[in-house]
C-alpha cells in the first residue's frame, strides 16, 4: 500500500482563489475556518466524529508534484510565479479538532483551521470530504448498533459502497460506530480490526448438494462455522442439512466453536423462530442464528419487536451508504481574519435562514456534564480566550432561538474542552489512537448521553449554546450588517 498524492483532490475554485490571494493581497493573511454541520443524519439526536486520522495523513502528504504543477500549467489560467509558489507548497498552519469517536452536535466547530488564507482555502474540499464521509458512516453504524441492542453487528457493505475508499474508510467508520467486525479484508489489514465472513450461495451451488457443501465447510472451519441455509429451501433443506452436519461433527469428535447458521432471504422473523426451535430440539441450543439481507436500524428494531431469534446481524448497503441520508452536511466557513495587530477579527455570514448564520471568531467548544450523574448537559461554544470557573454559575445562550437562556448552578457541573491541537504551525502534535481504541472511547462517549438523546425516533435535542461574550459579538455583527443594507 502506498499513499496516494491527494493534493489535487480539491475544488478548482480553491486554486483560482489561491492565485487571487497570491496576486491581490500584500500578505497571505492568517484566517480561521470552522467545520461544522447543521443537522444530525437520519433524524438522530447526535453524531459521531470520524476521519481525523485520514485528515492528518492528507495534511502531512500535501505537496504539488511536478506532474501536478504541469497539469495546472496546461490549463492556461495560472501564471509561473504562482505555479512556482505551489511547487514549494507545504501546510504551515494549525488545526484543532474534536477527537474521533466523540459524540458531536450540530453547529459546533468540530475542526478548526488557522492558517494563511491560501493554505486554509486549499485544504477545504478534502477535509470536508474525509470528515463528512467517515462521520456519516460512524453515525449510521451507531444507530444500527443501538437497534441491535447488544447483539453483534457486522459491516458487510463493500460491494455496494461508493467506490473502494467508501468501502475501506466506511468499514473503519463503522467499527468506530460500534460494529464488531467487517467483511472487508483490506480494512482489516489497514486498521487492525476483526474480519469475518463465511461463504456465499455460490459455494453451495458449486457442490453436488447442500449437505456436501456444508460438511466440507464445517470440516475446514470448525472454529468459525456459519452455514448459509437459504440457497434452496431454508426450513426443508438448509436447516436440516446444517443440523445433520453439526451432529456428524459432534459424533466425529470435532468440537464446533462459534457455530451457527445465516439467513439471507425470506421472512427473517418467522424463519429465525422456526430455525431456533429446530436447532434447540436437535440439541444445538448454543448454535447462533445470524441474519443479513438489506437490513438497517429500522428493520432490526422491527425484527426484535417481533421476537426474531437472531443474535448476530450482517448489515451491508444501508449502513455503508447511510442509505436514508447519504451525505453528512459538514461545511467549512470563514470565522475570522487576522488584522495588522495580529488579532483575529470575527467574521459572519448572513443568511435568510437563521440556522445558517455562522458563529464568528476564533472559537472552541466546552462540554458540560452533570457533576452527579456524569451525563452530558450541554455544549458551550465560546472564544478561545474565555476562562470559566466550574464553581460559578454559567449562563448559556441559544444561538438560534435567542430568547432561550439556560443557567447552570456553580458546583453542579464539570467542563472539558473538546477541540484538541492536531497541527501547530505545520507540525503534527497529535497521535491518533488505534481504531479499536477509538471504538472503545466512542462506547464510553455514548454512555454520557441520556436515553432520550440516543433513541432512533424524535430524540431529545442537546443544548449547543453560546457564551455570553460570543453571543454579544454575534449580535453586534448582525446589527452592523443589517444597517449596511
In the region spanning residues 121 to 150, those forming contacts with a second copy, defined by CB under 8 A, are 121, 124-126, 128-130, 132-134, 136-137
Question: Would you say 148 or 158 has its CB closer to a second copy?
Answer: 158
Question: Would you say 330 or 399 has its CB closer to a second copy?
Answer: 330
Q: Which residues, 268 to 297, sit near a second copy by CB under 8 A?
A: none
DSSP characters for 259-299? EEEEE-SS-HHHHHHHHHHHHHHTT-TT-EEEE-SS--HHH
Among 200, 254, 281, 395, binds a second copy (CB under 8 A): 200
Window contacting a second copy (CB under 8 A); options: 99-107, 331-339, 444-452, 456-464: 331-339
- Per-residue string for binding with a second copy, 70-99, x by CB under 8 A? -xx--x-x----------------------
Contacts of 317 (CB under 8 A, 6+ apart): 157, 160, 294, 323
Buried b (16+ CB within 10 A) or exposed e, 28-42: bebbbbbbbbeebbb
Contacts of 284 (CB under 8 A, 6+ apart): 243, 246
Question: Would you say 72 or 310 has its CB closer to a second copy?
Answer: 72
Question: Would you say 20 or 421 has its CB closer to a second copy?
Answer: 20
- Per-residue string for binding with a second copy, 11-30, x by CB under 8 A? xxxxxxx-xxx-xx----x-
**Contact between 170 and a second copy per CB under 8 A:** yes
By three-state DSSP, how is residue 466 classified?
strand
**Contact between 164 and a second copy per CB under 8 A:** yes
**Contact between 60 and a second copy per CB under 8 A:** no
**Contact between 254 and a second copy per CB under 8 A:** no
Among 107, 140, 143, 333, binds a second copy (CB under 8 A): 333
Phi and psi at 240, nearest 5°, equal -60, -45
Contact criterion met (CB below 8 Å) for 77 and 164: no
**Contact between 68 and a second copy per CB under 8 A:** yes
Among 244, 273, 349, 469, binds a second copy (CB under 8 A): 349
Contact criterion met (CB below 8 Å) for 140 and 153: no
Query: Rounded distance, CA 426 to CA 428, Å?
Result: 7
Contacts of 352 (CB under 8 A, 6+ apart): none
Question: Would you say 75 or 429 has its CB closer to a second copy?
Answer: 75
DSSP characters for 325-387? S-----EEEEEEEE-TTS-EEE-----SSGGGPPPPSSEEEEEEEETTT--EEEEEEEETT--
Contact criterion met (CB below 8 Å) for 426 and 30: no
Window contacting a second copy (CB under 8 A); options: 152-160, 285-293, 404-412, 464-472: 152-160
Among 283, 326, 410, 411, binds a second copy (CB under 8 A): 326
Among 43, 224, 247, 307, binds a second copy (CB under 8 A): 224
Question: How many CB atoms sit inside 10 A of residue 74's CB?
Answer: 9
Q: Which residues, 25 to 54, sit near a second copy by CB under 8 A?
A: 29, 31, 33
Q: Which residues, 397 to 426, sit near a second copy by CB under 8 A?
A: none
Residue 325 grid coordinates? 441520508
Amino acid at each position: 500500500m502506498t499513499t496516494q498524492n491527494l493534493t489535487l483532490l480539491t475544488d478548482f475554485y480553491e486554486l483560482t482563489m489561491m492565485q487571487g490571494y497570491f496576486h491581490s493581497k500584500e500578505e497571505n493573511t492568517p484566517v480561521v475556518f470552522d467545520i461544522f454541520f447543521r443537522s444530525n443524519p437520519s433524524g438522530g439526536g447526535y453524531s459521531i466524529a470520524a476521519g481525523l486520522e485520514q485528515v492528518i495523513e492528507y495534511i502531512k502528504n500535501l505537496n504539488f508534484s511536478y506532474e501536478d504543477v504541469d497539469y495546472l500549467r496546461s490549463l492556461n489560467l495560472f501564471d509561473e510565479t504562482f505555479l512556482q509558489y505551489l511547487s514549494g507548497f507545504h501546510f504551515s498552519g494549525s488545526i484543532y479538532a474534536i477527537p474521533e469517536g466523540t459524540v458531536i452536535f450540530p453547529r459546533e466547530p468540530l475542526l478548526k483551521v488557522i492558517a494563511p488564507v491560501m493554505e486554509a482555502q486549499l485544504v477545504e474540499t478534502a477535509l470536508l470530504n474525509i470528515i463528512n464521509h467517515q462521520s456519516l458512516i460512524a453515525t449510521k453504524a451507531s444507530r444500527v448498533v443501538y437497534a441491535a441492542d447488544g447483539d453483534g453487528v457486522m459491516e458487510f457493505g463493500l460491494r455496494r459502497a461508493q467506490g473502494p475508499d467508501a468501502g475501506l474508510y466506511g468499514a473503519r467508520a463503522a467499527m468506530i460506530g460500534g460494529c464488531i467486525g467487517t467483511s472487508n479484508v483490506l480494512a482489516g489489514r489497514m486498521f487492525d480490526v476483526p474480519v469475518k465472513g463465511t461463504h456465499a450461495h455460490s459455494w453451495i451451488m458449486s457442490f453436488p448438494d447442500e449437505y456436501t457443501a456444508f460438511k466440507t465447510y464445517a470440516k475446514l472451519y470448525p472454529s468459525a462455522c456459519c452455514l448459509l441455509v437459504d440457497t434452496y429451501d431454508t426450513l426443508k433443506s438448509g436447516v436440516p442439512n446444517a443440523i445433520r452436519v453439526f451432529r456428524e461433527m459432534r459424533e466425529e469428535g470435532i468440537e464446533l466453536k462459534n457455530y451457527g447458521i445465516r439467513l439471507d432471504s425470506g421472512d427473517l422473523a418467522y424463519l429465525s423462530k422456526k430455525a431456533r426451535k429446530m436447532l434447540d430440539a436437535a440439541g444445538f441450543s448454543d448454535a447462533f442464528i445470524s441474519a443479513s439481507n438489506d437490513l438497517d436500524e429500522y428493520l432490526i428494531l422491527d425484527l426484535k419487536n417481533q421476537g426474531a431469534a437472531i443474535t448476530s446481524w450482517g448489515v451491508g448497503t444501508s449502513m455503508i451508504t447511510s442509505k436514508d441520508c447519504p451525505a453528512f452536511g459538514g461545511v467549512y466557513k470563514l470565522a475570522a481574519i487576522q488584522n495588522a495587530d495580529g488579532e483575529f477579527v470575527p467574521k459572519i455570514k448572513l443568511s435568510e435562514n437563521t440556522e445558517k448564520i455562522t458563529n464568528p471568531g476564533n472559537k472552541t467548544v466546552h462540554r458540560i456534564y452533570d457533576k452527579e450523574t456524569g451525563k452530558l448537559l450541554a455544549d458551550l461554544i465560546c472564544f478561545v480566550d474565555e476562562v470559566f470557573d466550574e464553581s460559578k454559575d454559567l449562563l448559556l445562550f441559544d444561538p438560534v432561538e435567542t430568547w432561550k437562556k439556560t443557567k447552570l448552578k456553580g458546583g453542579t457541573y464539570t467542563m472539558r474542552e473538546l477541540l484538541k491541537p492536531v497541527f501547530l504551525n505545520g507540525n503534527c502534535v497529535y497521535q491518533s489512537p488505534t481504531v479499536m481504541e477509538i471504538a472503545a472511547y466512542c462506547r464510553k462517549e455514548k454512555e454520557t448521553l441520556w436515553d432520550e438523546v440516543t433513541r432512533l425516533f424524535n430524540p431529545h435535542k442537546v443544548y449547543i449554546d453560546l457564551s455570553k461574550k460570543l453571543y454579544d459579538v454575534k449580535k453586534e455583527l448582525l446589527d452592523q450588517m443589517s444597517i449596511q443594507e
